[in-house]
Structure 1
Amino acid sequence: MNETLTTPAIYPLSANSIEAYQRNGHILLREVASTEEVKGYRIAINAAVAKYNTETRALSERDTYGKAFLQIMNLWEQDETVRRFVLAKRFAQIAAALMGCENVRIYHDQALFKEPGGGFTPWHQDQYYWPLDTNKTITLWMPLVDITEEMGIMKFASGSHTDGYIDKLGISDASQSYLEHYIRKHEFPVSTTSYMQAGDATFHSGWTLHGAPGNNSHTMREVMTIIYFSDGARAIEPDNKNREADLERWLPGVKPGELAASPLNPVVL
């Protein structure tokens, strides 16, 4: 396995792709990483997930959020190989180009493994959780294995990011009900795909409404995500408990109004 993601060093991102992302709030890009690269990093990510996963309850004992996926965060802090994956400049360059900014920082990473029989991921907005003063936030969502529609591929409400902060509901049955109605009312087209190869990736804005079906296969849906934000963003006063927790965990030592630039938020481009 290569020491870093360097082949190619720069992903060939077209002006049309950038325009489509900015219009829709999401985009699917093929072969962001090669299958060979992903195979090597998958070993390290799976080992870290097995080591740091704390969920031991059966699916039947969990709530909707708990059934949606196993969620293990900031693995780049724990494992050097995962660190190389998360801090790869190729990914950061795509994120910066799509958002239209020069430099980006990491907010945090997440392994999101949807178990066989795992439940749906309710409609939600990621930035409900993030105490940041910028709209230039983006999430890379990359499967580590080939995935099909029945395994729970992401779906997006195209154009919904332009509405900004829609609600103050975290991922839950309540967010599913409210936002499903909101999407129909505002006639946002819902976009998804039927297949993603390991190394393909979607990128979506922090305000884009998105969710995923349950995993109706017998295979674990292994996905790694990386959240980026524009360098120069500042922390804001949290307006919900999740943002309070995020400020403490992902921006340690940073006070509202200060630059969002803790040691956990390195500049990666």
Structure 2
Amino acid sequence: MSDKRDLQQLSVLDREVELTKEFIEAYQKNGHAIVRGAADEQEIAAYREVIAELVKELNTQNVPLNERDTYGKAFIQIGNLWTHSEAVKRFVMAKRFAKIAAELMGVKGVRIYHDQALFKEPGGGHTPWHQDQIYWPLDTDKTITMWMPLVHVSEEVGSMTFASESHKNGFVSKQVISDESNRTLAAYIESKGLDVVNYGAMKAGDATFHAGWTLHSAPNNPTDQMREVMTIIYIADDSIIAEPDSNARKNDLASWFPGLKPGDVAASPINPLVYSRE
């Protein structure tokens, strides 16, 4: 893959998306939102080519789908693609997306935690209910994930499903993504009477945003097409590393905040500042 060739073809993603006060308030109330057309058709088509090619190069999953556990059936997962490609770096570092993230959270600036390609294979299984932030060793609730399909996602596959206002309760369970987390958190959602929202079909370049504590899941992929999604996780630029209280958080501290320790600002060389009002 020639990054020089790709960079010449790719938009710099400098167009800004304007968010209304009401939209931001709704996100902060519900813990999730959708921004239709966050990237346009031409932009996403060009970036999709380089991202999909890189996922193919980096994917090491060779176990047949029917032999994997629930987590393994949910998606092919590859993180920090931006460190492998200048073209993907341009996408992940885009000010357009970072500004949306900062405005939704109500913070002055954001850093990259990491990116993840989440490609759900044809016949791939559901993604169980979970909270992202049980994995993250951070002493803040100012975290947000952008989830953007690189291809059209039909109604039968749909967006992720969110439990509205669940982020307000913070930590619910330490269970990692699994059949157990699905049962426990589905029961929690029912017991609290939380509204469950799915945004349905999404075009390539649409994007959902959700808070780190927002409970969410995703349906299986009954189609014969790969569900190609790129995600970017943002954190407030003054976030502090917390003492990891689980193996999952210890692993994330080592992987995504190299050289840092509890009490440090979460700003390693692979957590660049990508947007600041100042």
TM-score, with structure 1 as normaliser: 0.98
Where does the alignment leave 5 or more consecutive residues of structure 1 unmatched?
none
- Please state if 1:86 is matched with 2:101: no
1:61-88 CA-to-partner distances (Å, cap 9, x unmatched) read 1000000000011000001110000000
| Correspondence for 2:197 among 191, 202, 205 | 191
3-state DSSP of counterpart to 2:273 = coil
State the partner residue of 1:160: 166
Distance 2:174 2:81 in 1: 28
Q: Does 1:62 align with 2:68?
A: yes
2:253 is equivalent to residue 247 of structure 1:
yes
- Equivalent-residue separation in structure 2 for 1:232 and 1:132 (angstroms): 11
Deviation, 1:148, is 1.3
Q: Per the alignment, in what secondary structure is the counterpart of residue 38 of structure 2?
A: coil
CA RMSD of aligned residues (A): 0.8
Q: Is the counterpart of residue 215 in structure 1 residue 221 in structure 2?
A: yes
Kindly report which structure 2 residues correspond to 1:19-30, keeping only aligned pairs within 5 A, or say none.
19-30=25-36
Provide the rounded CA distance (Å) in 1 between the counterparts of 2:75 and 2:55.
12
Measure, in 2, the Cα distance between the counterparts of 1:188 and 1:236. 29
Conserved 8 A contact 1:155-1:211: yes
Give the match's secondary structure for 2:137.
Answer: coil
Q: Does 1:110 align with 2:116?
A: yes
- Per-residue CA deviation, residues 89-147 of structure 1 (Å, 9 max, x unaligned), is 00000000000001100000000000010000000000000001110000000000010
Amino acid at match of 2:12: T
Letter in 2 for 1:118: G
Deviating 4+ runs (over 4 angstroms): none
1:41 to 47, 53, 57: 47
2-side partners of 1:153 and 1:3: how far apart?
25
Structure 1 position 16, deviation (Å) = 1.1
- Report the Cα offset of residue 3 of structure 1: 4.2
Alignment of 1:124-143 (within 5 A): 124-143=130-149
In 2, the alpha carbon distance for the partners of 1:125 and 1:169 equals: 9
- CA separation in 1, counterparts of 2:221 and 2:10? 32
Q: Is the 8 A contact 1:152 1:221 kept in 2?
A: no
3-state DSSP class of the match of 1:95?
Answer: helix
Partner residue in 2 for 1:5: 13
Corresponding residue of 1:227: 233
Residue-pair matches, total: 267
TM-score of the aligned structures, taking structure 2 as reference length: 0.95
Q: Could you tell me how far apart the structure 2 residues matched to 1:56 and 1:110 are?
A: 19
Q: Which moved more, 1:11-20 or 1:91-100?
A: 11-20
Asked if the contact 1:152/1:214 (under 8 Å) is kept, the reply is no
- How far apart are residue 194 of structure 1 and its match? 1.9
1:96 matched to which residue of 2?
102
Shift of 1:203: 0.2
Q: Which runs of 5+ in 2 are unaligned?
A: 1-8
**How many angstroms apart in 2 are the aligned matches of 1:166 and 1:108?**
23
* Residue 163 of structure 1: how far off its partner (Å): 0.4
Residue deviations 1:133-172, cap 9 Å, x none?
A: 1100000000000101322520000000000011101100
